[in-house]
Structure formats: C-alpha cells, structure tokens
C-alpha cells in the first residue's frame, strides 16, 4: 500500500500545474432522487438491526453499492477529477444515532474501495487524466467548543480525546480502503478540525505512508465566521500547522456569497485553494435553485480572478452543475501558488480573531491577572469556585488593552488541569474574551496539553526549556507543534537559569537550532524569554540583570531571524512588593528601553503603567540608574524613596495632580485626554462649548489637539495601547456630550431654511475596514459631515468588504469612506477598491486613518479602482472633499487635479524605489491577462499592408490639440481650481502670462496653417498577427505563410499590488488559439518645416518664436496622432465605427484600443522602432528618420502600434529582473550585454 501511494503528492501537483481540478457534487442530493426506503438501508447485512436506519446514507455503500457507484460515475462522466467517499458521517460519534458505532471502520473501508473501483476504471480508460478518491471526514454531530446547554456554558458533550479516537478509526478505514487523499470537510468548529488533523498525523507517524490532507471550512453566513465564531483568517491561522495540501471552503453559502471569503483566504494562503459551494442559498422550502449554467458563470469568474486550484459542488449540486463548472474553467489557468519565506512572514496568533505581529504593532500586552500565582484576587476566586467573577477578570483585562491573555492555574490546592479546562470552556462562550489569543501557562506540561485540547485558536505555550535536557525539550516541542501552537522558550538549560548576556544568547541559540532544524518549527512561532530577573535587591550580582536582558534581546533578534522576545515584567520589581507606585514606574521605564531593543511582548498589567514622561523626575532617574546599573547606591536610594513615600501620598504629586485644574479649559481637555481622565470631561467640554461659536468647534480645536498629543506619545513608545484606548473613551464621552447641541444648532439653522431638514447634501457611508477596530477618527468625520447636512451611515468597525458594498447599494450611498489605523487595513482598502471595480461601482472612494497617506493612496489604492479615490487628511478636510466630489460643476475639475497630483506622486514613488521584489518570469507569465479569445470581438481591418498620407491638412488637427502640455513646456502651472486649460487663465499667479502666451500661440498657429509653414505626413499599416508567449509575430497575409517581423514584448515582473502582470503580447490572440487577429502600426510627424522656421527666427535672435514654433509642432503631432487613431478606429480598421466622443473624452482615453509606442512604458525598448521602420518603410514613405540613438526626426513625431482588443490598456512594464533580460536577449538573438544596454533604464539589478 505504502509504495503505491508514494507518488500521489507529485501526481496531484503535476495535474494542478496544468489545470483546475474538478471535485464532485452533492452525494445526498443524488441519493434522495432514488427515494430509498428502510429496507434499502438495511440490505442483507442489517435486516435484524434493532434501530431504524433510514437516512443513514453512508450505510448505502454496503447495502446499495451499485447505486452509490452509479452516482460516483455520473460525476466522473460530468468531468470530476476527484470524487469523495460516501463517508461524511462514517464515524462512531455520528453513527451512535443509529446504534452502529461498531460499524464505522467497516463503512469507511467499503466506501473507499467502492470509490477506488470507479476512479481506477476511469483512469484506465484515460491514463493521461488520472482520477482521485478523497476520503471524506465530516465534522461529527458534536462540538468541542460549543456547549449543548445554555445553562451550563462549561459543559461539552465530546472531548478532544474522544474526537481523536473517532477520527483515527475513520481515517484508518479510509486509508485501508485505498483513498488517495484525506478530506476533512465542512468544518464548523476549528477544535474538532484540529482533533481530526491530530488523529490523521498520528496515523502517518506510526502506521501509514502520508497522503495529502485537504481542509474545507464552512463560513456559516455573510458575517464571515464559522459556527464556533472564528473569522476566516483566524480559522486558517489555527489549522495551517497541519502540513496541509490544500485549504478551502464549502457548504452553507452559494458561490456569490462565498466569494469574498474565498478571496480573503486566497490572499493569505500561499498553497492550493479550493471551494465547493452550495447551489445558492436554500429557498423557503429548503431547496436550492441556482441553475448549473448560472453556477458555471460564477465559478468561471472565480477562476479568471485567480482564486481556484480545485472546485466542486456541495448541497443542491448535481452532475449537471459539475459539468457546467468543468466547462466553465477548462480554459482557465489554475491559481498560482507561492513559496513561503519565513523571513517574509510574521507571527500570527488567533482566538476568534487574528493577532498579526506587524512592524507597526509596537508592543503586545499579555494580560497577567488570570494567573493564580501572580494575582491573589484571581486565585481566591478560583479556589472559591467563583468562576463567574474570574471570567469577569479576564474580560476586564481585554477591556484594559490586553491583546493576549495568560492563564495559569498552578496552585497546590487546585486540580490545575480541571481548573484550566473549565475556565477555557467558559471563556469560549464569551466572544469579548475569546476573540484574543490565549497563552497556556503552567510548569506542569500535562496541564499545558490539557489547555491545548480546549482551545480552537492558535495559542502560545508558556513554556518549555532545556532544563531537563534535550530529549525532554524535543518531546515537548513536538507536542506543541502538533497542536499548532507557538512556544515560549525560557533561557534555562541543564546548568540552570541564564543571567549573563552570553548565557542567554547561548541557550536561545541552542534552542532555536533544535526547534528549526530538528523539529521543523517555523521561526516565527518561537518566542524567547531571556529571563527578566529581579533588580535592586542589594545583591551585587543582581545589579546587571535588567541591562543584560535588554542587551541579550538585541543580540537574539539580530542573530535568530523570525523569533520574538517576551518576558514577565513584574519579576523586575519583586524587591518592592507592596510599593505599587515604585513597581509601576520601574516597569514603565524598563519597557521603554526594552521595546527599543526589540522586546515584542510581555506579561504586564499595562493598564496601570504610568506614562514615561509623567514619572516623577527623581523616581525616573532612580529607576534608570537601577535598570542600567549606573549608580552603585541606586538600590539604597530607591529604598529611601520608597520609604519616604510609604503609606502617604507624595505632596508634590498631589500638588501637581491638582494644579492642572487651574489651567485654561483647552489645556484641561488635552490633559484629560492624555491621562485618560473621565471625571471632569463633561464639565470641561461644556465650559469649552460656551466659549466657542459652535459645538463643532470644540471637537475641531481643543479635543483634536489633545488627541494629536496622544498620537505623538504612542508613536514615540511613551504610551501603550491600553492608555490610548482610555484616551479614546474620554474623547467619545466628550463628543457624545456635544452631539445634542450640534443637532440643536442644525434645527436652528433649519428655521431660516426648512429644506435643510428634508434635503441632505448627500449620503456618505463610513466604515472601519475588516481587521481594524479603531474608529475615533472616523466617528469625528461622521459628526463633522452630519453637521454640514450630510446623511452619514456609519457601519462601525471590523466591517467586511462585502458588507460595505451591500450597504452602499441598499442605502444608495453617494460616497464610501474607509478608515483604518493598522497597516493590514491598507491591504483591505486595496481589496475594497478592487471589489468596487469588479462589482461595477462608480461612486467616489475616500481613504482616511492614521496609517493612510496620500502617497499610499496614490500608489496602491487608486490604481485598484477606476473611479475617484481621494485621501482625506483629517476631519477638517472631509466636508470640502465631499462637497467638491458631489458638485457636478466642480467634480471633474477637482478630479483632474487629484489625478494629476496622484500621477506625480506615483512617479515620485517609483523613481525612488531601490529595493524591489520580483516574480520570476515563469511566475509572471502565469499572472498574464486572461482573455476569452473564443468570444473576443475581432474585426478585420479595411485593408492589409500600408497606407501613406503625404500632406495631411493641419486645419483638421487644431480641434484635437491638448493645450495642457503646452503650458507645461513653458513651466506655467496654475493652482487648483485653475490648474488646467482654460481655467489656468484665471489663476492669480500665472493666469495673465498664460493668456498672453496662448494668444501669441494662436497668432503663430494661424500663420503656420495659412502659409503652410509645416507639413504633416503619416504612414499606417495593418497585418495578420498572433502572439507567442510575450512576443507578436506579424505576417504578410492571412494564410500566415510568410512571417514579416516579430515584435518582442516585455512583461511586468514587479511583485506589486496588481494581480495581473501585463505584456502587450497579451492583447493579441495566441498562436495556439486558432483565432485570426491583427496588429496595426503608425508613424507620423507634423514637424516638416521646423528647421526652416528655426533658421528664420534665429536670424532675428527671436528665441521666443523658435520655442513657440517647436512647441506648436509638438502639439500638432500629438493632435495628428489622436486624429489618426480616431480614423483608424472608425474607418481604416473600423473596429469602433459608431464611436462619437468629445475631445475631452478622447484625451482621457475613453475609446477602445490603445496605441503604445516603443521606448515608452509599455515597451521600453527603443530598438523595436527599427523593426517597425523596416516593416512600414517609414523613412522611404514619409521621410521620418531614426537617429543613431533611435530618436525620431523631425522631433515633432509620434509612432506606435495599434491594438484593437477591448481589454487592451496602457501599462508600465517597470523594472525587470535578470531572468527576463536573459530570455529577451535569447529571443531577440542579441548578446546579454546588448540587452542590458538597451534595457538599462528598467533593469531591476546592478
């Protein structure tokens, strides 16, 4: 058996590299069509069974095998590559409902053998297309994470161990029956899934050759969560440890509803992705109405957007649905997978939601109050069996800003394992707690393992060490990895606890090498605790403990890539137990320096930490002297300070605490925000309101000023997240107090204009994007907009993309505004932009939030959405931006300004890039533009060959002139709203000069036309063509018997935000498509006569007229190119005969087709012009020459290629990597040196 299964991984990879594989559809739907009765389910084997068996579909593999085989074959005939065994409920837990627990193994073997017989038959018929059997393992009928009783939330009707036992028996039967792969499907509870993974991996370790494992989760509704409450990314994070071959989604949703969740999974999963949705959502009768044809359309869209490697159907799907899907994706390329580089990854943990350790996360607070060894209050609650109050402690920790919760139940009088189990099960029913990851903390490893068996998310184990030797360390590390947890490794070995820098680094390095090289740990899942030990004890050898931790942290982070550093901060100050103010100050000072050194997280009661800058200067110096061992008497001085302040308040501190109340109200408001003081915020806000003309002004000035201080302190590492959260709460209280007054002001204003109550200026939909919980800035924007008579729909925080777009449609929003504070939000904003384009939105998109910027918006978000995207700096700008976007008279001018500004920003950004990431050429080609050539509109030109225009009338070009570049030539630039022509004439600074220049140009232009001082000539040509990979071959006639030329293409290679990597070869039908296609060319000039004019004006020393003549020739040449392209579209080629666009629309490229030029962004190689010149005989027919450096002469000339395909678009190739340059040189038959010389401006390497 083992040798037979060995090649399965490679077999599947080979097939998946060639095409999207098809899974079968619903088994249950097809079984229902047979209308089986009780006797069918009993067959001969179970005639005397004492329990009803009707409905036990899995049993039919034994009692009616011919029917199940017929269903398998129907799906294979429909095009399925993978069929599932009829074993969804073939486990002893589910079979208990029929009193058939003992038959589970037999059922799996029978179903697997039956399916194998079918696939073997079809593979034998067509060995080039092997068929596969997936051993289906369902979720069982019980949940390890959800209580069956509302009254007893800690109750479970199944344990992890029981699930492992049942899943292992089922998997054993499937493997013995010969399945090719294991499919753990319809996962509604991730803990059940982890048990299944655990069970299968144990079989692979002990008894069976491994086969691919596929995991299929189930998002139960549009909220994007599983039944047990996890988000899609949290589910993925929790199970990705399992050496999984493919991860995807099935059931509960139809394809339309599943798409956003599949797309999100596809973005975070580097491996294979699948989906098999239901045939839509069930109707009121529980039936599924989505037709095969419609389902095929949805699936094709998935495939074209690069979301699929494997696809099939779930509830309500039939062989007809599978056939439609197979047909829909047969020409689509499979989704590209990517290699995972751990240095490009990061630590990701999960509860119900993910915690991603980004560079911007600063420091992660691990809540310490749910530890019986560290909190007397918590210990007493647990000992008294007062779990309800103990859960409240955990909830309070999260509210205070803890991003991870540490749970420890090590106490001599407790059953630690039982306490851990009960507490974890209780908090699992509290979403406000279980949303954060858990740190399972115990000195007894069996208690840790008990904890891991009760957590569905990806947790942290605290801790393991080399204290008991390498074998013990490895054994525990393997178990941790098997459960998919991250691990804290203590700097402790056989010789004891590390105290020096050298020993800390030595032990951590040894641990790191064992974990990464022998156990296979992802370095990002390794967290070192280099031991925060107590200082200021009076013992000399303790004096260096703090600085040793800080310095060791620097070395660990530098030498052990991927790892994190943590520590128990309270250990530092144990010598001052009972002196909380001293301890808290020591912790704050220590963290300030340790975080800078690279400390990522720590067990600390961060909500009680003082702000670094607010610590009494005397105490601050004493703390720093103690931490850095600067003063041998620092301990004594701290003791003296502690004694001096023991049992009484510091009088100076009291005075300072009171003094702020005597300051001006603006300063008091700022102080309350920074300190998180709620006590006086209402009375101070009211006092401020009475001093300002409008209630809104209080938000705009003193409150925003205070929040800016908070932001600065947080950015400098002098405030921590819990303190920022307190500040935000204070701000919300102040705003809540002001809202009624702002509403009243609005009503007062409506007395003079009653229409204000009925009519709004527009509907603005605001949302903090998925994954982000920060909303204070967004809320302020909402208030400001409402005060200016906009209807505001605020969707809140953590809003999934599809919910935003659905609400925008339902509410008929005029503008969507996205907010976010954390860096991952930026990627989500890009995703929303892509989806707005895909779903046909045409309303403006506003971007705001602390991590957003105008540059990021221009470079990353704006290209993802074809309509206006505007970065809004702050609330004060929101009204101005919205009013201009919604004003028909202002919108176009404003967007022209934004478009021009963002284009400049993009260019500035790309020019400044030094470090670039590239796809290799093969990867880049896999992401090429996908065009359905069988249904593409291809029009044959009116002639083949060339056509020459010797003296084109200049008078016909005047109306095609774009005057904006003319003013740029003269370095005249107006300011918004007077930037472009003709508004530039109104500009206060350059308007007068611009008008004078324009008038002079009109005089000379008339003179040029009337006296025929310049001549315009052109040649155009059309030829049969097809593409071969990136290049385009051009032929003499449609029989393609004689190739005239090859035009070589360059493909985008930057691994950027765009999913498609363009090359202009993509716009011509491929040779292997069998489709006849065409390519056009042109070269033209309006500069014949310029040398004569230059000589004439030079005699008069009239430089002004020389520059004017050349500038006008340039404008006429560009106008000629625009005019000629219009003639090509409408008549010469004729692929857009009914086109009727204004000049403004033509200049904005609103027509179909493009005319890119060699030497420009779409093909930066100027030498391609020589091929065009030879093909069209340009110099002979028009007199337009190519200089030695391949510049055109006359200079006022334009040349390029004509593409007619509707999906053709302008793009910039950008930088290219060495492998593409090698390929390009080989294809052009030139040396690498010549290729690098030609392409030097776009080389992405030295």
Q: Which residues have a catalytic role annotated?
A: 772, 774, 825
Q: Are 1077 and 938 in contact (CB under 8 A)?
A: yes
* 827-845: burial string, b at 16+ Cβ within 10 Å, e else: bbbbbbbbbbeeeebebbb
Residues 6+ apart with CB under 8 A from 762: 790, 791, 814, 815, 882, 886
Q: Are 26 and 276 in contact (CB under 8 A)?
A: no
The whole-angstrom separation of Cα 31 and Cα 63 is: 13
Q: Give me the DSSP letters along 171-193.
A: HHHHHHHT-SEEEEEEES-HHHH
Angle of CA points 1033, 1036, 1038, to nearest 5°: 85
Q: How far is CA 28 from each of CA 20, 34, 88, 178, 1190, rounded to the nearest angstrom?
A: 24, 10, 10, 22, 69
Block residue for tokens 């501190």: 653
The whole-angstrom separation of Cα 720 and Cα 387 is: 29
The whole-angstrom separation of Cα 924 and Cα 336 is: 10
The whole-angstrom separation of Cα 366 and Cα 605 is: 8
Q: Are 919 and 1213 in contact (CB under 8 A)?
A: no
Nearest to 196 by CA among 251, 230, 242, 227: 242
Strand partners, 492: 497
Question: From the CA atom positions of the chain, what is the Rg in Å?
Answer: 35
Angle of CA points 376, 379, 384, to nearest 5°: 125
1022, two tokens: 């059309």
Q: How many residues does the chain have?
A: 1246
The whole-angstrom separation of Cα 254 and Cα 278 is: 5
Q: Are 1077 and 1034 in contact (CB under 8 A)?
A: no
Block residue for tokens 């110099």: 1179
Nearest to 464 by CA among 437, 441, 438: 441
The whole-angstrom separation of Cα 255 and Cα 298 is: 6
For residue 1192, the surrounding DSSP H or E stretch is strand 1192-1193
The whole-angstrom separation of Cα 995 and Cα 1022 is: 42
The whole-angstrom separation of Cα 678 and Cα 725 is: 12
Peptide bond into 977 cis (omega under 30): yes
Q: What is the three-class DSSP state of 1137?
A: coil
Phi and psi at 1068, nearest 5°, equal -115, 140
Strand partners, 162: none
Q: Are 40 and 64 in contact (CB under 8 A)?
A: yes
Residues 6+ apart with CB under 8 A from 55: 41
The whole-angstrom separation of Cα 1028 and Cα 1041 is: 16
Category of 55 on φ-ψ map: left (φ > 0), alpha (ψ -120 to 50) or beta: left
112, two tokens: 């697997």
Residues 6+ apart with CB under 8 A from 1174: 1045
Q: Are 271 and 244 in contact (CB under 8 A)?
A: yes
Nearest to 190 by CA among 218, 171, 157: 218
Strand partners, 1035: 1043
């Amino acid at each position: 058996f083992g040798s037979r299964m060995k090649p399965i991984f490679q077999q599947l990879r080979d097939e998946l590299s060639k095409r999207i594989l098809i899974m079968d559809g619903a088994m249950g739907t097809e079984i229902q069509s047979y209308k089986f009765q009780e006797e069918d389910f009993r067959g001969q084997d179970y005639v005397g069974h004492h329990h009803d068996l009707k409905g036990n579909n899995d049993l039919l593999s034994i009692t009616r095998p011919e029917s199940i085989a017929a269903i398998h074959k129907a799906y294979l005939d429909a095009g399925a590559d993978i069929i599932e065994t009829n074993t969804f409920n073939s486990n002893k837990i589910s079979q208990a409902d029929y009193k058939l627990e003992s038959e589970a193994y037999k059922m799996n073997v029978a179903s697997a053998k039956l399916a194998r017989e079918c696939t073997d038959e079809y593979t034998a018929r067509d060995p080039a297309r092997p068929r596969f059997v997936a051993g289906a393992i369902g979720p069982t009928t019980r949940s390890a994470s959800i209580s069956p009783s509302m009254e007893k939330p800690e109750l479970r009707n199944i344990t992890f161990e029981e699930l492992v036992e049942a899943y292992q028996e089922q998997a054993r039967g499937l493997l013995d029956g010969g399945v090719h792969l294991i499919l753990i499907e319809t996962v509604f509870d991730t803990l059940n899934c982890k048990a299944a993974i655990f069970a299968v991996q144990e079989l692979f370790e002990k008894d069976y050759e491994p086969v691919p494992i596929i995991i299929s989760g189930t998002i139960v509704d549009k909220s994007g969560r599983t039944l047990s409450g996890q988000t899609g990314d949290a589910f993925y994070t929790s199970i990705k440890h399992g050496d999984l071959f493919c991860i995807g989604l099935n059931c509960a949703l139809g394809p339309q509803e599943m798409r956003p969740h599949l797309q999100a999974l596809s973005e975070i999963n580097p491996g294979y992705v699948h989906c098999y949705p239901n045939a839509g959502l069930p109707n009121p009768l529980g039936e599924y109405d989505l037709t095969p044809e419609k389902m095929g359309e949805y699936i094709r869209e998935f495939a074209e957007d690069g979301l699929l490697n494997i696809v099939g159907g779930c509830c309500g799907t039939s062989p007809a649905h599978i056939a439609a899907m197979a047909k829909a994706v047969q020409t689509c390329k499979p989704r590209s997978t990517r290699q995972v580089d751990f240095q490009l990854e990061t630590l990701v943990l999960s509860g119900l939601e993910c915690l991603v350790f980004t560079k911007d996360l600063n420091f992660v607070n691990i809540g310490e109050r749910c530890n019986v060894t560290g909190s007397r209050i918590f210990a007493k609650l647990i000992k008294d069996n007062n779990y309800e109050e103990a859960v409240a402690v955990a909830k309070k920790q999260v509210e205070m800003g803890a991003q991870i919760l540490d749970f420890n139940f090590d106490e001599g009088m407790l059953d630690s394992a039982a306490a851990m189990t009960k507490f974890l099960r209780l908090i699992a029913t509290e979403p406000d707690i279980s949303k954060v990851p858990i740190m399972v903390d115990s000195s007894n490893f069996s208690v840790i393992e008990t904890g891991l068996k009760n957590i569905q998310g990806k947790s942290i184990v605290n801790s393991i060490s080399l204290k008991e030797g390498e074998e013990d360390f490895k054994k525990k590390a393997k178990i941790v990895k098997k459960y998919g947890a991250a691990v804290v490794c203590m700097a402790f070995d056989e010789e004891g606890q590390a105290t020096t820098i050298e020993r800390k680094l030595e032990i951590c390095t040894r641990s790191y090498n064992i974990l990464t090289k022998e156990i296979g740990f992802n370095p990002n899942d390794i967290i070192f605790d280099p031991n925060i030990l107590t200082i200021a004890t009076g013992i000399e050898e303790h004096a260096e403990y703090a600085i040793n931790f800080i310095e060791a942290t620097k070395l660990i982070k530098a030498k052990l890539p991927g790892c994190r550093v943590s520590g128990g901060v309270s250990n530092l100050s144990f010598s001052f137990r009972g002196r909380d103010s001293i301890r808290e100050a020591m912790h704050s000072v220590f963290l300030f320096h340790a975080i800078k050194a690279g400390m990522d997280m720590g067990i600390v009661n961060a909500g009680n930490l003082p702000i670094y800058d607010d610590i009494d200067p005397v105490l601050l110096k004493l703390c720093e002297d103690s931490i850095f061992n600067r003063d041998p008497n620092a301990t004594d001085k701290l003791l003296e300070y502690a004694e001096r302040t023991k049992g009484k308040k510091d009088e100076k501190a009291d005075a300072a605490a009171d003094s702020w109340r005597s300051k001006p109200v603006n300063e008091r408001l700022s102080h309350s925000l920074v300190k998180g003081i709620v006590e006086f915020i209402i009375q101070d806000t009211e006092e401020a309101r009475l001093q300002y003309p409008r209630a809104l002004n209080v938000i705009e000035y003193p409150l925003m000023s205070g929040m800016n201080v908070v932001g600065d302190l947080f950015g400098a590492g002098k405030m921590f997240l819990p303190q920022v959260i307190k500040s935000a709460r204070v701000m919300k209280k102040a705003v809540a107090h002001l809202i009624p007054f702002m509403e009243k002001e609005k009503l007062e204003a409506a007395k003079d204009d009653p229409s204000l109550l009925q009519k709004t200026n527009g509907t603005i939909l605001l949302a903090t994007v998925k994954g982000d919980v920060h909303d204070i800035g967004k809320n302020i924007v909402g208030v400001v907009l409402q005060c200016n008579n906009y209807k505001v729909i605020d969707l809140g925080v953590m809003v999934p993309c599809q919910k935003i777009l659905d609400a925008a449609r339902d509410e008929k929003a005029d503008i969507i505004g996205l907010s976010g504070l954390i860096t991952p939000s930026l990627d989500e904003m890009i995703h929303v932009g892509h989806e707005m384009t895909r779903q046909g939105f045409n309303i403006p998109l506003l971007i705001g939030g602390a991590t957003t910027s105008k540059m990021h918006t221009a470079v990353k978000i704006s290209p993802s959405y074809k309509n206006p995207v505007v970065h809004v700096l702050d609330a004060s700008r929101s009204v101005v931006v919205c009013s201009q976007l919604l004003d028909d008279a202002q919108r176009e001018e404003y967007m022209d300004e934004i478009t021009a500004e963002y284009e400049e920003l993009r260019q500035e950004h790309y020019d400044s890039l030094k470090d670039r990431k590239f796809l290799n050429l093969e990867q880049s080609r896999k992401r090429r533009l996908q065009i359905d050539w069988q249904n593409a509109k291809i029009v044959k030109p009116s002639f083949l060959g060339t056509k020459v225009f010797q003296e084109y009338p200049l008078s016909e070009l005047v109306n095609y002139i774009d005057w904006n570049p003319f003013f740029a030539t003269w370095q005249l630039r107006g300011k918004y709203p007077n930037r472009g022509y003709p508004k530039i004439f109104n500009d206060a600074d350059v308007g007068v000069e611009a008008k004078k220049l324009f008038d002079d140009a009109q005089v000379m232009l008339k003179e040029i036309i009337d006296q025929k001082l310049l001549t315009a000539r052109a040649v155009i040509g059309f030829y049969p063509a097809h593409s071969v990979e990136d290049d385009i071959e051009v032929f003499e006639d449609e029989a393609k018997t004689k190739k005239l030329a090859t035009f070589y293409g360059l493909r985008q290679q930057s691994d950027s935000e765009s999913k498609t990597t363009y090359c202009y070869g993509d716009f011509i039908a491929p040779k292997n498509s069998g489709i006849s296609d065409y390519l056009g060319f042109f070269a033209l000039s309006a500069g014949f006569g310029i040398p004569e004019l230059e000589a004439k004006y030079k005699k008069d020393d009239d430089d002004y007229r020389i520059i004017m003549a050349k500038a006008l020739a340039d404008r006429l040449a560009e106008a000629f190119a625009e005019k000629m392209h219009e003639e090509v579209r409408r008549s010469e080629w004729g692929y857009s005969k009914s086109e009727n666009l204004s000049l403004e629309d033509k200049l904005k490229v609103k027509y179909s087709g493009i005319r890119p030029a060699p030497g420009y962004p779409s093909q930066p190689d100027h030498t391609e012009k020589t091929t065009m010149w030879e093909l069209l005989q340009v110099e002979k027919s028009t007199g337009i020459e190519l200089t030695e450096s391949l510049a055109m002469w006359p200079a006022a000339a334009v040349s390029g290629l004509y593409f007619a395909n509707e999906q053709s678009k302008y793009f910039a190739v950008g930088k290219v990597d060495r492998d593409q340059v090698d390929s390009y040189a080989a294809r052009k038959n030139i040396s690498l040196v010549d290729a690098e010389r030609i392409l030097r401006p776009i080389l992405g390497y030295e």
